[in-house]
Structure 1
Amino acid sequence: MAGSIALNGTQISYIGNDCKEIPEYIGKAYGHFAKRLDLSFNQLRALAGLKMFPELEELIVDNNQLGNDLRLPRLPRLHTLTLNKNQISFDRVTPALEYLSLLGNQACPNQLVSPDKDEDDYQRYRYFVLHKLPQLKFLDTRKVTKRESMEARERGEFMKVVKPKCDAPSTEAGKDSNPLPYTPLPRGSRDGSNHRGLFTKCRYIYYGKHSEGNRFIRNDQL
């Protein structure tokens, strides 16, 4: 069954219909004149149907299931693309873009969705994307600055943010591979069935700067 379509001049919206691919009838009916297409909140995993939208300038596909196998057909007029909240870990987009947003994807280490990342990680990501797409004027929520463009040209190739792999810790020869949990008790007292008292002298110095009672304790009472 066809989902709901909103038409406003050259702007087409097909939002929240849980489709896994772009319905063919939308391309046939509106593709020849549509300049803005919003496909947010669906279940899209591919965008092959866009080949029927040669005049497209803006594409919004937020909150879908697009991944690293994303392929865009040739869209010579496309200048704005938002791919927020998909499953993309690497930029695979058309080089003609001027406006790009990848918030909510693994590729974009934004602190709102990646608490383990910081502003430095996000800035490296910007340099890397700008190295790949030097014509970008706007990335995510920020305008591209001249300084960023210069840094991207000089160092952007080496700025990809990579999450390190966690290797299993190695054990050194001769060390106990199953160490006992830490305890302040002597080794002989760690056994729960062996309850032995331990008496020794302990020199304890108390600096009672905030205790008014100390001034009334005599040495022969200690």
Structure 2
Amino acid sequence: MAGSIALSGTQISYIGNDCREIPEYIGKTYGHFAKRLDLSFNQLRSLSGLNMFPELEELIVDNNQIGNDVRLPKLPHLHTLTLNKNQISFGTHLLGNEACPNQLVSPDKDEDDYQRYRYFVLHKLPQLKFLDTRKVSRLEALEAQARGEYMKVVKPKRDGASSEANVDSNPLPYTPLPRGSRDARNHRGLFTKCRYVYYGKHSEGNRFIRNDQL
């Protein structure tokens, strides 16, 4: 069943139709004149069929299932390619793809990680003029050409977890009490004298006790 197509001059939009490949009839009908093709929010796993769009200048395939095995035909006029939120990793750990370090969802990533990612992508795609909305500088392109292939970031896995971490694999809710006092079945009491004097709201102890523990 054919999905919904929006046509505006040389711009073709085929959005949100859950197709796994580019329908052949779109290429046959519009491919000879289309300059902008938007295939966002589908289930595309490949871009086969793009050879039917020889005049294409801009291609948008955000929010699909495109992976590392994607293959692009020769598109001599293409100047803008948008691949946000796909499954591209480039074998390492564009926006919304695993390949792109994103501090919003990966707090351990920083600007250095992102710059290494740019060098690696620019090494793979040396003709790019923009990456993630940022213009590729001449120095960046030279650095990518010289060292880009070595910019994969591989971090060691933490195989040797401590015994403490293993004990707390299913941690109890936070409590300031000692470990031996957390289990009601293993209660340990202590009675002694203390020289500390309580001064109400100025008590340091109040800073560490939550309402649900009062």
Quick check: 1:4 aligned with 2:42? no
Aligned to 1:154: 146
Unpaired runs of 5+ in structure 2? 169-176, 203-214
Aligned to 1:97: none
Aligned to 1:167: 159
Identify the range of structure 1 (60-69 vs 45-54) with the bigger mean alpha-carbon deviation.
45-54
Shift of 1:164: 3.6
Shift of 1:163: 4.6
Contact 1:41 1:64 in 2 (8 A): yes
- Measure the CA separation in 2 of the matches of 1:137 and 1:193: 65
SS in 1 for 2:49: helix
SS in 2 for 1:48: coil
C-alpha change, 1:50 and 1:166, in structure 2 (3 Å) is: farther
- Measure the CA separation in 1 of the matches of 2:151 and 2:68: 19
Bigger radius of gyration among the two: 1
Q: AA paired with 2:88?
A: I
Residue-by-residue CA offset, 1:105-150 (whole Å, 9 max, x unaligned): 0011122343331111111111111222233211112111233223
Shift of 1:151: 2.5
Aligned to 1:28: 28
Aligned to 1:214: none
Q: Percent identity at matched positions?
A: 77
Q: AA paired with 1:144?
A: V
Aligned to 1:117: 109
Aligned to 1:136: 128
SS in 2 for 1:29: helix
Residue-by-residue CA offset, 1:68-119 (whole Å, 9 max, x unaligned): 221222323322211000111018xxxxxxxxxx110001112234333111
Residue-by-residue CA offset, 1:142-170 (whole Å, 9 max, x unaligned): 11123322332333222123354332438
Contact 1:57 1:79 in 2 (8 A): yes
Contact 1:104 1:113 in 2 (8 A): no
Q: AA paired with 1:133?
A: L
C-alpha change, 1:71 and 1:154, in structure 2 (3 Å) is: closer
- Measure the CA separation in 1 of the matches of 2:189 and 2:39: 73
Q: AA paired with 1:13?
A: S
Shift of 1:13: 0.9
SS in 2 for 1:86: coil
Which of 100, 104, 114 matches 2:96? 104
Aligned to 2:45: 45
Q: AA paired with 2:82?
A: T
Aligned to 2:60: 60
- Measure the CA separation in 1 of the matches of 2:178 and 2:130: 59
Q: AA paired with 2:5?
A: I
Shift of 1:184: 6.2
TM-score w.r.t. structure 2 length? 0.71
